[in-house]
Every structure is written in structure tokens, then in C-alpha cells.
Amino acid sequence: MEREKIKRLGKISFFSDLGLAIVKNPPKLPSLKSNVVNEKMEHVGIVYDIFGPVKTPYISVKIKNQYKELLTTEDVLYVLDKQDRDVRQQKKRYDKKKNSSNKR
């Protein structure tokens, strides 16, 4: 099972010529193709690319067509990060299988 954790991506700095929203220097780097939502928890797009200097990276967000006219540089975006819930249990199951195969 997966659960989603909300992380602040940051305020939109500007929009590129290709219609991508650019966020400068987020607190933590998101994964590519992560879901991006606005303050109302509406799915507005996905993380498209990470570029720029290592110390102050830029994040480009591919915005859905229906939100291109609604978003401004005053809006704050958030990332939904998926995390596995049962990591420990999966590891225990793996260890049991590994031990049983060694006994034969």
C-alpha cells in the first residue's frame, strides 16, 4: 500500500515560453513525474524537469491546460510524494524466504 506525503515545492517564480511553471530553489528536491497540487489540493500538473546549479536548482512543472490561465506567480505549489507503507513487513517476508531456501 502507498500513502502520499505533501511537501511544499515553493512559489512560482515565472512561466517559461513553453508554458511550464518554474519554481526556484525548493526546500527538498522532488522526484520526476511527481504529482503537483495547489493550495486547494487540486492536481495542477507534474514535475517535468530539474535543472540549474546544484545549490539553487530550478523545478519545471508541466501545468494542465485547464490551470494555465488560473495560476499566477503568487501561487504556492506542493508535491505529493508516494511512500511505501509496509517496507519493514516486506523485508521480513524476504528474510523468511531467504532462510528457508538455505535450509534445503
Each domain of the chain, given as residue ranges in start order, spans: 2-103
Task: Read off the pTM.
Answer: 0.73
Q: Which three cell numbers stand for residue 16?
A: 517559461
CATH 3.30.950.10 for domain 2-103:
no
Alpha helices in 1-104 (DSSP H): 87-103
pLDDT at 95: 56
Q: Which three cell numbers stand for residue 41?
A: 489540493
pLDDT in tens, the chain (104 residues): 456 789 999 999 999 999 999 999 999 999 999 999 999 999 999 999 999 999 999 999 999 999 999 999 999 999 998 765 555 555 555 555 555 555 55
Q: What are phi and psi of 70, to 5 degrees?
A: -85, -30
Residues found in the chain: 104
Under DSSP, is residue 83 helix (H, G, I), strand (E, B) or coil?
strand
- The residues with which 72 forms a beta bridge, in sequence order, are none
Residue type, 101: S
